[in-house]
């Protein structure tokens, strides 16, 4: 039976910024009683139901994002602004971590939003052990959710994600109609003007 000094468990904690789920701890060989005692002694701090932070690790943004994904389960996919942050495209993660899940979850904990959603092959990549929406889809979802601030977000990341990439995934975004209207408006800004642009602006909200 492994202890907290078990190399495999220590390696898992290092990879996950000190965050571990109850299921992972049990798979690593700890007993339910051992996990409960670690929590009772405050050596493991609950972040979400059945997800813990080990006491000698700081509560970082990475730990918060990983904890949200671990709470949602193995099939969860990180999306929106949180996915953009995981890709290194925005400087800080959002206050609420958006996740796509294969089926409706029980009430998400504070700071987590979970939406049932299926992805097409190629729309998800694995990055540092997490399933993450690809940048064009993550950006378009985040921009639609941002409403009037969506075009500014797309323009800010235009050097990393081009309009052609966004148009290619628009039908698979959360709210495809809103995504297409947003992209039409972005295309009509002075820096990205197209001949077919009209005068109807901010139609994605």
Q: Quick one: pLDDT at residue 5?
A: 63
CA distance 44 to 56: 9
CA distance 180 to 106: 31
Q: Quick one: pLDDT at residue 169?
A: 96
CA distance 42 to 173: 42
Cβ(137)–Cβ(124) below 8 Å: no
Share of the chain above pLDDT 90, in %: 80
Cβ(93)–Cβ(64) below 8 Å: yes
Q: Which of 79, 61, 74 is nearest to 19 (CA)?
A: 61
Cβ(133)–Cβ(100) below 8 Å: yes
Cβ(97)–Cβ(113) below 8 Å: yes
CA distance 163 to 98: 23
Q: Quick one: pLDDT at residue 201?
A: 42
- Averaged pLDDT for residues 69-76: 94
Whether the per-residue pLDDT at 125 is higher than 60: the answer is yes
pTM of the entire predicted model:
0.87
Whether the per-residue pLDDT at 204 is higher than 50: the answer is no
């Amino acid at each position: 039976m492994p202890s907290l000094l078990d190399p495999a468990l220590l390696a898992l904690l290092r990879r996950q910024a000190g965050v571990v789920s109850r299921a992972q701890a049990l798979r690593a060989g700890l007993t339910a009683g051992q996990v409960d005692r670690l929590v009772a002694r405050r050596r493991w701090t609950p972040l979400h139901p059945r997800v813990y932070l080990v006491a000698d690790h700081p509560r970082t943004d990475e730990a918060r994002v990983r904890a949200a994904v671990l709470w949602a389960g193995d099939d969860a996919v990180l999306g929106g602004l949180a996915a953009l942050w995981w890709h290194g495209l925005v400087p800080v993660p959002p206050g609420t971590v958006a996740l796509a899940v294969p089926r409706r979850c029980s009430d998400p904990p504070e700071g987590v939003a979970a939406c049932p959603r299926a992805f097409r092959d190629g729309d998800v990549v694995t990055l540092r052990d997490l399933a993450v929406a690809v940048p064009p889809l993550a950006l378009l979802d985040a921009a639609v959710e941002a409403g009037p601030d969506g075009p500014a977000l797309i323009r800010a990341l235009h050097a990393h994600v081009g309009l052609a990439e966004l148009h290619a995934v628009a039908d698979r975004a959360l709210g495809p109609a809103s995504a297409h209207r947003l992209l039409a408006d972005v295309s009509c800004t002075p820096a990205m003007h197209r001949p077919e642009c009209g005068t109807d602006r901010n139609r994605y909200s």
